[in-house]
Amino acid sequence: MSTPALPLKQRTPVRPARILLHTFLIVTSLAWLAPLLWALFAALRPYSETSEKGYVSWPDKLSLDNFTNAFTQSDMTHYFGNTLLIAVPAVLLTLFLSSCVAFYVSRFDFRVNLFLLLVFTAGNLLPQQVIITPLYRLYLLVDLPGITMSGKLYDSALGLVLIHVAFQSGFCAFVLSNYMRSLPHELTEAALVDGASVWRLYWQIVLPLCKPAMAALATLLSIWIYNDFFWAIVLISTGENMPITSALNNLSGQYFTDPNLVAAGALLTAIPTLIVYFALQRQFVSGLTLGANKG
């Protein structure tokens, strides 16, 4: 409790131990970056050079050729576009729908609340493979002529959006309901007595207060949905319709003889997530721990 003890403790680090600790942290963090740096190194060199001199060799010249080639030859903009088409609606819809559920279960005293929240939370914890077989069949069954390119829910961006929303809203509903529960009750009670509609309570009072949690979840969801591989691999069959991560899988099959090009493609694919992470680091990390702290 004594305040002077605190700065004192911080000012007297045990020197040799600190140096040892920093050495350890530097070595391990370099080891952690090594695979990514190795991929970068390979991607910066032409295949002809590495095949001749071996991969562990001094580079003659480094160039961005592999990156430009991967970008143009494989039509990456198209696949990035596919991903945007899936991720943007999926993130927005997930946030909207899960905040609705969270509002319902956290601000009102219905008896289904706990059960409803359990259903959502448990659903998100299931491994995706548990539901994929019937889902795949269901997607093949649903005809949507004229609405999707494939005429079905299967092999369409819409299908991926729906499953992302359904699956991720479990986690978001749980997090947001915890968040909304911590808002003072007087806030909505008073408005309700004054005759405000339920929708106004949600849209004008509760939702604006949830901005920090929503921002954190939005960051997290964008990265998760962008990174999705499984749903896209199973529910999309046409290469043209694939989002970027699963398209990369095709690309590597096509260019497997040139690992340097594949490395460049893989790194290009990772760039958007890295940008989001570095720009919104705080939101991302707090999002990850929003659900975890509660447990």
What part of residues 224-253 is at the interface with another protein (CB under 8 A)? 226-230, 233-234, 245-246, 248-249, 252
How many residues at the interface with another protein, by CB under 8 A? 115
Candidate ranges 74-82, 83-91, 105-113, 143-151; the one touching another protein (CB under 8 A): 105-113
Note whether 144 binds another protein by CB under 8 A: no
- Interacting residue with another protein among 4, 7, 16, 134 (CB under 8 A): 134
Choose which of 15, 145, 146, 199 interacts with another protein (CB under 8 A).
199
Single out the residue of 259, 253, 230 nearest to residue 47, CA to CA: 259
Decide: is 8 part of the binding site for another protein (CB under 8 A). Answer: no
Stretch that binds another protein, among 53-61, 69-77, 82-90, 210-218 (CB under 8 A): 53-61
Of 105, 109, 107, which Cα lies nearest the Cα of 117? Answer: 105
- Using rule CB under 8 A, residue 202 touches another protein: yes
Interface with another protein (CB under 8 A), residue from 15, 109, 145, 211: 109
Site for another protein, residues 258 to 287, rule: CB under 8 A: 259, 262-263, 265-267, 269-270, 273-274, 277, 281, 284-285
